[in-house]
């Protein structure tokens, strides 16, 4: 499969995964390995940064995985920047998934704080991947301040509803100069494949794998779906035929000239 | 900068790829909702010729959806025919022995009043490239002089540096048209043997400088007739695509000037038929639903009357292409001959009779 490049890293897999909600860390490890994912987000709030033997991290010690700490839990730009600095120290990576959701119920990302934080983090040398609503203008603003990718949501986080923001995702994909990673809402491999067919550069899946009946098998299924979707995108998906409305000819005048 | 992208393409490869498109590629492009640059290639290729009516219908629908039934009006005001460049296709070229003329402040105001009197609120200021006589300060002054008469000021003059553009935007400039003439680098050199314009790279990166300066609108295009129009149009579309992604707060327009007779005469190397021009206009619309497509008085009246429905969104009318041409000195030398001699009013009546609204004002200086 063709490779994805974000900042200074190259990925063979376009499936990004999360580490929350698994029954056990062992199951998480097996599922993520089965998925082929090479970028794995970890919530800073869940790891014990003072303990190098932290259990979550111990299960992610594979060459295959690059860690993407996220700032989940931060409610303001200031908190997010602080969290990113801690993560850089603790995990030795300057990559960060910027998440700011002051709303505890739906975990909706705060666009204003996110833009502010992104600008500051880029200045501090972070590779910033912001999690945001599927807002095309915000995506351009984030690109302008130097984000390495954008991560618009497909549906409310954890909802498994699929690509509810489809129309906006299409605009974002069309306009973006940086990779677009569809994040949140993807509940089934078919959703992931659809996002990839549309031309998304990657998808991020967590809940749908973690809570599946068989998370290991589901991790694998997602890996395959993402590959299939990407391949379909490159092969140019056939379109439903649009026939122009019959009306009087518009080019007849050319015969008079 | 677009230059970086530009040099990744090879002219001959692009050309070969356009000419190898098949009916199948055209049908796929027509069936899509969003079209890529590869689809654009198919739509401008010879293979698309049999699909012209279908393209026209689609172009009509898309234009109507985005712009409604409206046509925006503008007219050029030539401030000077002084030029230090040699361009093989232009009547103002340095080696063309003609009387040179630059409008004074008072003459600019008289022309502005006359043009405003014809109904226009959108004006396009045009000069040759003569930095000593019509440099940035002259143009700035001209913008200030015409500002009270018009709500939208565009210009088509020599490419400038970013800080110069910033100064002019501050003075009231809204739009800059800068045509690459041709993206064929060697041919570009042949047509621009002398003067600052011979710097291909500086010209190619002009829209980037405009984007960085925060201009409201940028107009792009090539001079059709210098080189293979299909390949040149592909590079224009690629340029547009890059600019839209990069300077996303800026608006864009495309023009399709076909090489016209002028005093000093260069025969077009490549002829573009009317049918092909329709194909190109529709292809742009199918590729980009947002872009403004503009038609000048270079074209024949029958052509202009019919193209209104096919994707065009703005048109000039009643145009004079000589400095002072409206009232100050109607007989001075034209840059090129125009083909539609009708007055602005006559043209507007024709547009209305087709069920379109004629939009004279679609911007206000207060918004800048
Ligand atoms: S095209 Fe412009 S630069 Fe070239 S000769 Fe004419 S006025 Fe001068």
Residue of chain A minimizing CA distance to B27: A241
Distance CA B28, CA B26 (A): 5
Dist. CA B85 → ligand 1 center (Å)? 6
Tokens for A99? 């998440």
On chain B, the residues whose CB falls within 8 A of the CB of A174 are 34
Residue A207 labeled ligand binder: yes
Task: Spell out which chain A residues touch chain B, with contact meaning CB-CB distance below 8 angstroms.
Answer: 140, 170, 174-177, 236, 238-242, 244-245, 247, 249-251, 253-254, 256-257
Verify whether the Cβ–Cβ distance B61 to A240 is below 8 Å.
no
The closest alpha carbon to A41, from A25, A24, A57, belongs to: A57
Q: Does the CB atom of residue B90 touch ligand 1 within 6 A? A: yes
Q: Which of B31, B39, B59, B288 to mutate to test the interface with A (most CBs of A within 10 A)?
A: B31
Q: Shortest CB distance from B309 goes to which of A174, A239, A250?
A: A250
- Residue A245: predicted pLDDT: 56
Residue A245 per-residue DSSP state: P
Phi then psi for residue B196, to 5 deg, are -65, -25
Q: Give tens-digit pLDDT for B20-71.
A: 999 999 999 999 888 999 999 999 999 999 999 999 999 999 998 888 888 9
Give the pLDDT confidence score for residue A246 in this predicted structure.
60
Low-confidence ranges of chain B (pLDDT < 70): 261-266, 368
Task: Report the nearest atom of ligand 1 relative to the CA of B86.
Answer: 5
SS3 B136: helix
**Among B265, B285, B263, B183, which residue's Cα sits nearest to residue B224?**
B183
Question: Measuring CA to CA, how many Å separate B288 from each of B14, B59, B281, B292, B368?
Answer: 20, 10, 11, 9, 25
8 Å CB contact of A250 and B248: no
Q: What is the ipTM of this complex?
A: 0.76
Question: In terms of Cα–Cα distance, which of A67, A11, A16 is closest to A43?
Answer: A67
Residue B124 has a CB neighbour count (10 Å cut-off) of 23
Cα–Cα distance for residue pair B316/B122, rounded to 1 Å? 10
**CA B88–ligand 1 middle distance (angstroms):** 9
pTM of the model: 0.84
Per-residue pLDDT of chain A (257 residues; tens, 9 = 90+): 589 999 989 999 999 999 888 888 889 999 999 999 999 998 887 777 777 677 888 788 888 999 999 998 889 999 999 999 988 988 889 999 999 998 877 889 999 999 999 999 999 999 999 999 999 999 999 999 999 999 999 998 878 899 999 999 999 999 999 999 999 899 999 999 999 999 999 999 998 998 888 999 999 999 999 999 999 999 887 766 655 556 678 888 888 77
* Structure confidence at residue B346 (pLDDT): 92
List of residues 6+ apart from A223 with CB closer than 8 A: A13, A15, A34, A35, A36, A37
Do B251 and B292 touch, CB atoms closer than 8 A? yes
Q: Cβ neighbours of residue B239 under 8 Å, at least 6 residues apart?
A: B2, B6, B180, B183, B207, B220
Tell me phi and psi for residue A16, to 5 degrees. Answer: -100, 145
Work out the angle at residue A156's Cα, subtended by the Cα atoms of residues A150 and A134, and round it to the nearest 5 degrees. 35
CB pair distance less than 8 Å for B31 and A140: no
Instruction: Give every CB contact of residue B125 below 8 A, 6+ residues apart in sequence.
Output: B76, B77, B79, B139, B142, B143, B146, B153, B154, B155, B156, B157
Q: Where are the alpha helices (DSSP H) in B156-314?
A: 162-171, 185-191, 200-204, 206-213, 229-246, 274-287, 301-307
How far apart (Å, rounded) are the C-alpha atoms in residues A16 and A14? 6
Write down the pLDDT at residue B41: 98
- B7 class by beta-carbon count within 10 Å (0-12 exposed, 13-18 middle, 19+ buried): exposed
* Angle ∠(A153,A233,A132) on CA atoms, nearest 5: 15
In order of start, what are the domains of chain B with their CATH numbers? 2-361 (3.20.20.70)
Q: Give the 3-state secondary structure of residue B207.
A: helix
Kind plus residue range of the DSSP H or E element containing B146: helix B136-146
Phi and psi at A7, nearest 5°, equal 50, -120
B78 CB within 6 A, ligand 1: no
Give the integer Cα–Cα distance in Å for B108 and B149: 11
Q: How far is the CA of B83 from the centre of ligand 1 (A)?
A: 6
Best residue in A142, A144, A240, A251 for a mutation probing chain B (most B CBs within 10 Å): A251
**A221 annotated ligand binder:** no
């Amino acid at each position: 499969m063709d490779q994805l490049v974000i900042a200074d890293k190259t990925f063979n897999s376009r499936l990004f995964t999360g580490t929350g909600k698994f029954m056990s860390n062992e199951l998480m490890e097996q599922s993520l390995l089965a998925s082929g994912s090479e970028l794995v987000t970890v919530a800073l709030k869940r790891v014990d940064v003072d303990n190098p033997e932290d259990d979550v991290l111990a299960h992610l010690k594979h060459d295959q995985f690059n860690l993407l700490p996220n700032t989940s839990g931060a409610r303001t730009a200031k908190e997010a920047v602080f969290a990113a600095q801690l993560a850089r120290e603790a995990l030795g990576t300057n990559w960060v998934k910027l998440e700011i959701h002051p709303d505890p119920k739906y975990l909706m990302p705060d666009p204003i704080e996110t833009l502010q934080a992104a600008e500051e983090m880029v200045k501090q040398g972070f590779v910033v991947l912001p999690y945001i609503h599927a807002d095309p203008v915000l995506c351009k603003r984030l690109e302008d301040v130097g984000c390495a990718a954008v991560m618009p949501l497909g549906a409310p986080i954890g909802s498994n509803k699929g690509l509810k923001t489809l129309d906006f995702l299409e605009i974002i994909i069309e306009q973006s100069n940086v990779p677009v990673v569809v994040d949140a809402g993807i509940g089934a491999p078919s959703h992931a494949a659809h996002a990839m067919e549309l031309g998304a550069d990657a998808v991020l899946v967590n809940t749908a794998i973690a809570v599946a009946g068989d998370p290991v098998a589901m991790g694998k299924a997602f890996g395959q779906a993402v590959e299939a979707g990407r391949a379909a995108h490159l092969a140019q998906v056939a379109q439903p035929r649009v026939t122009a409305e019959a009306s009087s000819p518009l080019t007849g005048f050319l015969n008079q000239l | 900068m677009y230059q970086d992208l530009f040099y990744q393409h090879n002219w001959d490869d692009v050309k070969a790829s356009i000419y190898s498109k098949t009916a199948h590629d055209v049908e796929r492009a027509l069936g899509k909702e969003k079209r890529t640059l590869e689809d654009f290639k198919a739509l401008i290729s010879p293979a698309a010729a049999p699909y012209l009516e279908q393209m026209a219908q689609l172009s009509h629908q898309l234009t109507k959806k985005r712009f409604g039934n409206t046509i925006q009006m503008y007219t050029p005001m030539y401030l000077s025919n002084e030029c230090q460049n040699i361009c093989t296709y232009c009547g103002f070229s340095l080696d063309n022995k003609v009387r040179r003329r630059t409008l004074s402040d008072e003459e600019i105001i008289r022309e502005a009043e006359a043009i405003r009197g014809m109904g226009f609120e959108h004006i396009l200021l045009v000069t040759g490239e003569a930095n000593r006589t019509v440099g940035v300060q002259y143009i700035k002054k001209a913008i200030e002089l015409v500002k009270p008469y018009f709500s939208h000021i565009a210009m088509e003059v020599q490419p400038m540096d970013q800080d110069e553009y910033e100064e002019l935007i501050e003075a009231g400039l809204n739009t800059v048209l800068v045509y690459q003439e041709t993206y064929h680098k060697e041919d570009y050199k042949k047509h621009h043997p002398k003067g600052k314009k011979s710097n291909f790279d500086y010209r190619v990166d002009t829209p980037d400088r405009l984007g960085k300066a925060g201009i409201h609108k940028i107009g792009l295009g090539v001079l059709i007739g210098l080189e293979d129009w299909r390949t040149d149009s592909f590079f224009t579309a690629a340029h547009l695509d890059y600019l839209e992604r990069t300077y996303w707060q800026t608006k864009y327009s495309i023009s399709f000037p076909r090489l016209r007779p002028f005093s000093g005469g260069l025969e077009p190397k490549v002829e573009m038929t009317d049918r092909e021009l329709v194909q190109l206009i529709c292809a742009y619309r199918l590729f980009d639903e947002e872009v403004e497509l503009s038609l000048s008085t270079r074209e024949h009246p029958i052509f202009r009357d019919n193209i209104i429905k096919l994707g065009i969104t703005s048109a000039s009318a009643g145009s004079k292409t000589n400095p002072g041409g409206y009232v100050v000195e109607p007989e001075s030398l034209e840059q090129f001959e125009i083909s539609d001699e009708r007055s602005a009013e006559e043209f507007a009546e024709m547009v209305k009779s087709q069920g379109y609204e004629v939009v004279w004002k679609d911007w206000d200086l207060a918004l800048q």
